[in-house]
Structure 1
């Protein structure tokens, strides 16, 4: 549901930002129609899911988890090792993604790195009460990196939506110029984000903000 809402708003704003003479054909109307249908389908699925036994069982399982005593006691070093492992995993995924060719597989790898950094940020937050400012600084820099990777992924998804919209428009005999223009603008934004990622990565890896990962 949220994906449909966000993408509809993103594309609607993009069309409105273009000069009127560059919007050829019923582009805004087609986008509105497409995502109104997607949203209706998603809402139906959401209602079915929330009414399902699976959702009820999930809530019950969460209640049991909160009410149960901890499975075992752990010390700070145990936590620190796992926090370091989460951050290292994210670093490795990003390095591999940036070393690869710029293609669809690289885009998928960057998205996987983003998810890994999200998990790493949550892990470092566990260290904040004990580690203080270094952990807080690392959390902020991991969030900046995660957000940048997220913006890049949004562009990847948006370009695919625009490509499909252009194919539909072409099949209906409509002008596809504006879809191509918007696609090019998204590609330009993605390249800009991609160039900014290494600097954000380096800021997150500076020694002074990694102190929170020590034992």
Structure 2
């Protein structure tokens, strides 16, 4: 805080002494007579004023709001059922069965054939005494010979009766009670929701207050100050 003083008038007298002064014995100094007085001073005292200034300020902020989050919950539910049904079960048994059936075989016949061929025959021919270095040589000549032979033929079929045996199937059926287990499943969809917190953009306006210096407050004051008024007396010389 600052204080401003404006002095309008000051009346003062020099303060010399509370009592009259006497000249020393060796000289002729003047004497002063003083008395107490009051002096008024007119002053203007000013005190600065402090004012409160309010300014609206908008601030960006986040606010928490409630939001619902929903989703589909899928639950698979299965149910097992048992059912007894009558079923006919058939099997096959095999037994030997003998049958007589006509069959065809092949009859083998022979065909007489002859073939004339020219062959060369040789016979030894010798001279001199045997055992004493006699010599010999082969005497050969050509002649015709007929060779007879049989050729088998399978061109004539032969009908006969054959006895055959084969496995004959025999169907055997029985009725049985069978338990059939069946499982049926289905999906159940149910919507579930729960509350969650969500942030959203928002703004808030606040009143900002600050102290500023305003117009000063001035007041006229009268100040009374104690002073002394003195007069001088010259000494008498006779």
Q: Larger C-alpha radius of gyration, 1 or 2?
A: 2
Query: Which structure has more strand as a fraction of its residues?
Result: 2
Flag the structure with more relative contact order, 1 or 2, with Cα contacts below 8 A and sequence separation at least 6: 2
**What TM-score do you get using the length of structure 1 for normalisation?**
0.17
Query: Which structure has more helix as a fraction of its residues?
Result: 1
**What TM-score do you get using the length of structure 2 for normalisation?**
0.15
